Amino acid sequence: MKDLQNIKQRFGIIGNHEGLNRSIDIAAQVAPTDLSVLITGESGTGKEIFPQVIHNYSARKHGQYIAVNCGAIPEGTIDSELFGHEKGSFTGANESRKGYFEVADGGTIFLDEVAELPLSTQVRLLRVLETGEFIRVGSSKVQKTNVRVIAASNIDVPRAIDNGKFREDLFYRLNTVPIRIPALRERGEDIFLLFRKFAVDFAEKYRMPAIRLDSEAKYILLNYSWPGNVRQLKNITEQISIIEGEREIIGLTLRNYLPDYGSVKLPAVIKRDDEKSFSSERELLYKILFDMKSDMNDLKKLVFDLISRGDIDVTLQNGNSQVINNLFREANEDNVGSHGNEPQPTGFSTHQTRKDIQDTEEIFEESLSLSDNEMEMIKKALEKYKGKRKLAANELGISERTLYRKIKEYEIES
Ligand SMILES: Nc1ncnc2c1ncn2[C@@H]1O[C@H](COP(=O)(O)OP(=O)(O)OP(=O)(O)O)[C@@H](O)[C@H]1O
Ligand SMILES: [Mg+2]
């Protein structure tokens, strides 16, 4: 635990999220060994500090630490960069040159964006990992080196394997100890600690008071999806610090720096092409309401049956008679057919005042008139667009096909 705080302080890692703590803890545990480590996590989650933690807590800390961004080196020169080359081995190779694996003998190499390595380089890497052997480009002499490899990737390596872009054997060799860095949106309240730290740092850098967030802005900060993670948070904190005159940042201001805010963290509506698909959230809500209505009708019928058969005793003390009367009337209209005079279910009396039942009745009426409302809305939309279904459907937020079905269902003339 003490170690954890020390590491955070020494390497400037902010946050107390359990997943982040676990990652730091694994890094500290694995540091004294020579095991390969693969660090994964979305872009901007803070992967780059981890190989430094591992190197500095290992016996190799006085050896070389070399960080290589595999994605930034052209394919034609990467083998030479990593493993060196002999003089004259390719055009422009005027001198022989040591590669990183030779230079870092006794130290640590961090291979960032390792999934970007060409397949041929992956073969060389696997060999050096397994045997410590490598060959300079243009040479036939096998050399030995003692390097610890730490790799990182912000892409899904197993998927790269499926796509034939990454060797499975190399993945297992690198992934001896996996460390996963959680995305910022998973870290909850850590985001406020990070924001405050960045706000204070930039205030110092630009010699101005630190920005603060009002409660709405805090809410936005917590609920945004942060696709660029800590890097994105740091960048916008810097931008806002410089651009905004006002030091208290309100929600609306913050939103301006998050152009896709609002399109994220909503429940996803899965689109499919079959009849049951929902063309919009509105349709989904309609579906839920209609399902509820249908359930309620089933319940009403059940209660009506029970009352009719005398299976339940509805001696009313608290004013449900009107409701039951309605229930009886509706179920009767739906199912039983008219017998001329209204039949009464047994077992209850109707000497109740309307006042007693108003609340219940209101709820019933509102929800039960939904289909009428829907029919009205459809009629209005069709009228407005002079029968043009496409435009009407668009306004209603439903698909043309659904509109067509509803027109038939409600027998609307159009
Ligand atoms: N927990 C943290 N505390 C303080 N600063 C952090 C933290 N995590 C990340 N940062 C900062 O966020 C920025 C991005 O981190 P880093 O470069 O390590 O991301 P990355 O995971 O390597 O992303 P990519 O996959 O895109 O290379 C850096 O400036 C880093 O200092
Ligand atoms: Mg990085």
DSSP string of 255-291, one letter each residue:
HHT-TTTTSSSSPP----SSTT--SSHHHHHHHHHHH
The pLDDT of residue 275 is: 37
Asked if residue 46 lies in contact with residue 203, where contact means CB atoms within 8 angstroms, the answer is no
Ligand nearest to the CA of 8: 1
Exposed (0-12), middle (13-18) or buried (19+): which is 51, by Cβ within 10 Å? buried
With a 6 A CB cut-off, is 17 part of the ligand 1 pocket?
A: no
What stretches of 332-385 show up as alpha helix (H) in DSSP?
Answer: 354-368, 370-384
**φ, ψ of residue 326 in degrees (nearest 5):** -60, -45
Q: How confident is the model at residue 192 (pLDDT cuts 50, 70, 90)?
A: very high
pLDDT in tens, 356-386: 434 443 444 444 556 777 888 888 888 888 8
Q: Which atom of ligand 1 is nearest to the CA of 13?
A: 3
Q: Per-residue pLDDT for 65 more than 90?
A: yes
Ligand nearest to the CA of 46: 1
With a 6 A CB cut-off, is 67 part of the ligand 1 pocket?
A: no
Which residue has its alpha carbon closest to ligand 1 atom 23?
A: 44
Ligand nearest to the CA of 231: 1
pLDDT in tens, 318-334: 555 666 666 656 555 55
pLDDT in tens, 92-122: 888 999 999 999 999 999 999 999 999 999 9
Q: Per-residue pLDDT for 145 more than 70?
A: yes
With a 6 A CB cut-off, is 187 part of the ligand 1 pocket?
A: no
With a 6 A CB cut-off, is 99 part of the ligand 1 pocket?
A: no
**pTM as predicted:** 0.66
What mean pLDDT is reported for the chain? 83
- What are the Cα distances from residue 318, in Å, to 28, 252, 299, 349? 68, 50, 20, 12
Half-sphere exposure of 410 (CA within 13 A, CB side): 18
With a 6 A CB cut-off, is 53 part of the ligand 1 pocket?
A: no
